[in-house]
Amino acid sequence: ARAADGLDGAAPPPDVDLGTPSIARLYDYVLGGKEHFEVDRRAADALYEAVPETSQLAKDNRNHLRRAVQWLVREAGIRQIVDLGSGLPTVGNVHELAQAVDPGVHVVYVDNDPLVLAHGRALLSDETTTTVITADVREPETIFADPRTAELIDLQQPYAVIAASILHHLDDDVAYDVAARIRAQLHSGCYVLISNFLDDDEPRAKELERAFLEGGLGTGRFRTWAEQRRFYDGLEMVEPGLVYANDWKPDHLTPTESRVHTLYAAGVARKP
Whole-number Å distance between alpha carbons of 137 and 159: 17
User: Closer to ligand SAM at the Cβ: 85 or 158?
Assistant: 85
181 binds ligand SAM, rule: CB under 6 A: no
User: Closer to ligand SAM at the Cβ: 9 or 34?
Assistant: 34
Closest approach of Cβ 189 to ligand SAM, in Å?
23
131 binds ligand SAM, rule: CB under 6 A: no
Other Cβ atoms less than 10 A from the Cβ of 156: the count is 7
Tell me the window of 49-57, 132-140, 150-158, 185-193 that interacts with ligand SAM (CB under 6 A).
132-140
Q: Which of 35, 40, 60, 111 binds ligand SAM (CB under 6 A)?
A: 111
Task: Count CA atoms within 13 Å of residue 262 on its CB side.
Answer: 8
Q: Which residues contact 251 (CB under 8 A, 6 or more apart)?
A: 67
Other Cβ atoms less than 10 A from the Cβ of 262: the count is 17
177 binds ligand SAM, rule: CB under 6 A: no
* Total site size for ligand SAM, rule CB under 6 A: 20
Whole-number Å distance between alpha carbons of 141 and 180: 11
242-261 binders of ligand SAM (CB under 6 A): none
Nearest to 36 by CA among 57, 21, 49, 48: 21
113 binds ligand SAM, rule: CB under 6 A: yes
Can you tell me whether residue 133 is helix, strand or coil? strand
What phi and psi, each to the nearest 5 degrees, are found at residue 59?
-70, -40
Closest approach of Cβ 111 to ligand SAM, in Å?
4
DSSP 169-231: GS-HHHHHHHHHHHHHH--TT-EEEEEEEB--S-HHHHHHHHHHHHSSS-----B-HHHHHGG
265 binds ligand SAM, rule: CB under 6 A: no
166 binds ligand SAM, rule: CB under 6 A: yes
Q: Which of 41, 79, 119, 169 binds ligand SAM (CB under 6 A)?
A: 169
Closest approach of Cβ 156 to ligand SAM, in Å?
25
Closest approach of Cβ 76 to ligand SAM, in Å?
19
Q: Which of 53, 136, 177, 207 binds ligand SAM (CB under 6 A)?
A: 136
Side chain identity at residue 233, one-letter code: D
Can you tell me whether residue 266 is helix, strand or coil? strand
Q: Which of 12, 21, 24, 132 binds ligand SAM (CB under 6 A)?
A: 24
- Residues lying near ligand SAM in the complex (CB under 6 A) are found at 23-24, 27, 61-62, 65, 85-87, 111-113, 116, 136-138, 164-166, 169
